């Protein structure tokens, strides 16, 4: 059976493409739809259906643009109520892609409309199941997200539905089925996802904590809700965009691709409430950057950290990027609903530097410099990794202020005393450093290479404990 996983690492997201006899289907597409159009064109196939496993929280789906560009039918599971034309399927409804069959199984729990899709080949053999956020590899979808959009839903109620969906709809299926989930490790839609992005259902029944055969519903609810952290603020906003609709990516790009020379960039920055977002790497940003800009590097989990650190998806944004990476930055912002980029610095940071305008810097130190300073004076050390990472292992004496909490915990960081920041490898600590610099902190340093390089020194760390959650 011809099924292709299209994986996007920065969002830990998997879309799926299925084609047979000139007909194709896309499952859970990202915002930029051209890759799916190109894939179908390669097969000389027409995209017949766009299947949505649920209303996504962590990204804005490309289903509406695909519908506009191809005429494909958007399909949701039972109880979905979008504000646009879509087919709301019934449980066990069958769709045809050439000689293949796609059987919708209503599997509520992550959300109430959540559905999985059983893949049946031309010989009527069940080959795989696209599970969306119902079942991941070594995990299941967190059942606490939908309550932030529909107040009548509780996480306990949704967890109970998820237990029933797994036991009654998915676990009775053949062990030979391949499981195709919507996310892998790194996504905030689950707490302990594997780095593997497919597996057999039979193996998952053996290794996935949530599929234990002897598990009671009460045990399931307790275990699946343990270890969940507060979801990113942008999640409910993305859900509403996926329900209500949104501007086409073409329109977003047309608005955003406005080159501004340094003079005009500064004028727009001063006349608006736009956020100055620098998407260069941490090293380049630290050496020199525009004052009051924040750094979220494009060469990392860019969209996820934009969503974590910028509370309002309607925030106007001015971009500073590497030359010729403006459209990439705009597109990746739009993946998570940030559609209000109003321009970019023409020529990137070099043009700002050539204009002799004011620049700022971040103090960075090596692991060896950190080691010497630590032993000499025991400075305040701030670990900005996730709580689960800190609890697993950290530098002795370090306090934990997770990056996604830093805006709410600024009062814990002194302005009258120097301190040192570190994360896992230097990406997140530079985001934190840029925010602190923007808010008036100056007497701090960032450790190059983060905890990974600190571990190469003689500094003592806490006893390693295997994490029970990745959130």
Do the domains 3-237 and 364-454 sit in the same CATH topology, yes or no? no
Quick one: which of 319, 447, 339, 464 has its CA closest to 384?
A: 447
pLDDT in tens, 8-53: 999 999 999 999 999 999 999 999 999 999 999 999 999 999 999 9
Assigned CATH topology for domain 364-454? Oxidized Rhodanese; domain 1 (3.40.250)
Residue 251 pLDDT class (50, 70, 90 cuts): very high
Per CATH, the homologous superfamily of domain 3-237 is: Ribonuclease Z/Hydroxyacylglutathione hydrolase-like (3.60.15.10)
Q: 247: Cβ–Cβ under 8 A, 6 or more apart, which residues? A: 339
Domain boundaries, the chain: 3-237, 247-354, 364-454
* Distinct helix (H) and strand (E) counts, the chain: 16, 24
Tell me what pLDDT residue 151 has: 72
**For 295-311, what is the mean pLDDT?**
96
Q: Which residues are bridge partners to 49 per DSSP? A: 25, 73
pLDDT, mean of residues 364-369 = 97
pLDDT band at 152 (very low <50, low <70, confident <90, very high): confident
Residue 63: φ, ψ to 5°: -60, -40
- Enter the CATH code of domain 247-354: 3.40.250.10
User: Distance between CA 306 and CA 288 in Å, rounded?
Assistant: 21
Which sign, positive or negative, has the C-alpha torsion 439, 445, 449, 454?
Answer: negative
- Closest to 411 measured CA to CA, from 446, 433, 441: 441
Round to whole Å and give the CA distance between 147 and 145: 5
């Amino acid at each position: 059976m011809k099924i292709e996983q299209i994986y996007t690492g920065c969002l830990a997201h998997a879309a799926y493409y299925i084609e047979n006899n000139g007909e194709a289907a896309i499952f859970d597409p990202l915002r930029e739809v051209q890759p799916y159009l190109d894939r179908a064109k390669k097969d000389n196939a027409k995209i017949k259906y766009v299947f949505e496993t649920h209303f996504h929280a962590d990204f804005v789906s490309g289903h509406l643009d695909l519908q506009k560009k191809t005429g494909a039918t958007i399909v949701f599971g039972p109880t979905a109520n979008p504000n646009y034309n879509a087919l709301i399927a019934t449980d066990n409804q069958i769709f045809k892609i050439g000689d293949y069959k796609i059987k919708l199984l209503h599997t509520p729990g992550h959300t109430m409309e959540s559905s999985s899709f059983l893949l049946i080949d031309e010989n009527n053999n069940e080959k795989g199941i696209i599970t969306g956020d119902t079942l991941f590899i070594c995990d299941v979808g967190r059942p606490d997200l939908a309550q932030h959009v529909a107040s009548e839903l509780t996480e306990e109620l949704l967890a109970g539905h998820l237990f029933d969906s797994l036991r009654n709809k998915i676990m009775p299926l053949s062990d030979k089925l391949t499981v195709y989930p919507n996310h892998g490790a790194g996504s905030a839609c689950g707490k302990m996802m594997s780095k593997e992005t497919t597996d057999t259902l039979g193996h998952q029944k053996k290794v996935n904590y949530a599929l234990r055969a002897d598990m009671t519903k009460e045990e399931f609810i307790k275990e699946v809700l343990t270890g969940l952290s507060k979801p990113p603020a942008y999640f409910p906003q993305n859900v509403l965009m996926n329900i209500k609709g949104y501007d086409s990516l073409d329109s977003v790009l047309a608005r955003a691709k406005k080159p501004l020379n340094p003079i005009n960039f500064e004028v727009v920055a001063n006349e608006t409430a736009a956020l100055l977002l620098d998407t260069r790497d941490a090293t380049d940003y630290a050496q020199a950057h525009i004052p009051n800009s924040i750094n979220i590097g494009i060469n990392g989990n860019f969209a996820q950290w934009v969503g974590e650190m910028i509370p309002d998806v309607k925030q106007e944004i001015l971009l500073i990027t590497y030359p010729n990476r403006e459209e990439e930055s705009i597109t990746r912002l739009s993946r998570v609903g940030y559609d209000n980029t109003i321009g970019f610095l023409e020529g990137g940071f070099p043009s700002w530097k050539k204009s002799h305008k004011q620049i700022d810097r971040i103090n960075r130190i090596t692991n060896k410099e950190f080691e010497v300073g630590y032993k000499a004076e025991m400075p305040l050390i701030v670990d900005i990794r996730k709580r689960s990472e800190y609890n697993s292992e950290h530098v002795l004496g370090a306090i934990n202020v997770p990056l996604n909490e830093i805006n709410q915990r600024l009062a814990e960081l002194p302005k009258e005393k120097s301190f040192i920041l570190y994360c896992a490898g230097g990406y997140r600590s530079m985001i934190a450093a840029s925010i602190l610099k923007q808010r008036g902190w100056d007497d701090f340093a960032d450790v190059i290479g983060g905890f990974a390089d600190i571990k190469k020194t003689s500094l003592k760390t806490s006893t390693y404990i295997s994490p029970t959650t990745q959130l």
